[in-house]
Amino acid sequence: MNDRTGRIDVGILGATGTVGQQFVRLLAAHPWFRASWLAASERSEGKRYSEAATWRLGGQAPADAAGAVVQACQPGRGPRLVFSALDASAAADVEPAFAKAGHVVVSNARSFRMQPDVPLLIPEINPEHLALITRQRRERGWAGAIVTNPNCATVVAAMVLGPLRTFGIRSVIVTTMQAVSGAGYPGVPSLDIVSNVIPRISGEEEKIESETQKILGSMTDGAVTPHAMVVSAHTNRVPVIDGHTETLSIGFDERPSPSAIRKALEEFRGRPQTLSLPSAPPQPIVCLDADDRPQPRLDVDLDHGMGVTVGRIRNCPVLHTKLVALGHNTIRGAAGAAVLNAELLASERIIEFD
């Protein structure tokens, strides 16, 4: 069902949490989508959103959302297109139930990312992977579908590596400095993170290593063949509010110069830019000249948090190239990524929502 402006009605599963609130904020003035159905756990069901959700973002909750009554996460209710901000434990059961009931679930959860018939999508990098939906529906018998976006740290690395595939990527070492907002709320205790670095984030290294190979992989006979590169990840939690900073060292089949790397990154455009999708940054990767950039405090909000910034592109004495990259973890790495995925679905009419 569409509203009188022609916008598509959408729902949000897990609307009261941190990522759910980002969905509410991003969709409040979206030109294509209208968040008409907000759903959460039993303890929130039946309450007004303003009562059920303690608003953790800047400003106030959008007025339309604040007055909405929170619904139960019940398949068959709500719009056909739903965004999932559920944690993985809930998503594992709830998302397939919604897909079976005919909903198209655009998910931020990790539960189905590595399933062979589920797209793990970055629209600029692997839009062709949406062909997996046909297989998904055939093999699972779903009237709906599940489409996922990657882990918040994977997005930054994959956005940088995607344009560099032309040089033949062989190996990558990535070290992350990840913001505390990536841990959700209440997240990391202050006495653990203030003036400190925590050199482990459970499960994060494995996600970066495997998800990046799937995203950069190729479609062959209705399946994704993972990219053959080897990825080694080190993950760290640092006392930054928003923005995951990553250092990458990359080995190639060729030996591209730093200027060739920069040219490939700056000239890169993907399907969202060709289609002028509402959430797509006009230039998805921006390279900075200053030798002390990017920095989260200065650069994380590039293009409303949807752009990735890169700096310090230089030769690596161990591999071939090293650089620094930064992306907004709760926007480009979470809610904003899912909204862009849905825009691609709607624009390409892979799934009809009318």
Model confidence over 71-122: pLDDT tens digits? 999 999 999 999 999 999 999 999 999 999 999 999 999 999 999 999 999 9
Q: Is 244 a catalytic residue?
A: yes
Neighbouring-strand partners of residue 323: 248
Neighbouring-strand partners of residue 172: 231, 250
CA–CA separation, 22 and 6 (whole Å): 23
Q: What is the pLDDT of residue 4?
A: 47
* Cis amide linkage into residue 294, ω under 30° from 0: yes
Q: What is the pLDDT of residue 5?
A: 63
- Measured CA to CA in angstroms, residue 289 lies from 81, 262, 269, 286, 293 at distances of 41, 11, 20, 10, 8
Catalytic residue among 73, 103, 129, 152: 152
Q: Is the pTM of this model over 0.85?
A: yes
Model confidence over 141-195: pLDDT tens digits? 999 999 999 999 999 999 999 999 999 999 999 999 999 999 988 899 999 999 9
Percent of the chain predicted with pLDDT > 70: 98
Neighbouring-strand partners of residue 310: 287, 325
Q: Has residue 354 got a pLDDT over 70?
A: no
Helix (H, G, I), strand (E, B) or coil at 335: helix
Identify the DSSP state of 165: G
Catalytic residue among 103, 227, 244, 320: 244
Write down the H helix ranges in the chain: 18-27, 49-52, 63-66, 88-100, 132-140, 152-161, 190-193, 204-215, 258-267, 271-275, 296-299, 336-348
Model confidence over 180-223: pLDDT tens digits? 999 988 899 999 999 999 999 999 999 999 999 999 999 999 99
Closest by CA position to 323, among listed 351, 354, 352, 285: 285
Q: Is 152 a catalytic residue?
A: yes
Neighbouring-strand partners of residue 8: 2, 33
Q: Which two tokens stand for residue 257?
A: 């110069």
For residue 159, the one-letter residue type is M
Whether residue 174 contacts residue 234, with contact meaning beta carbons closer than 8 Å, is answered with yes
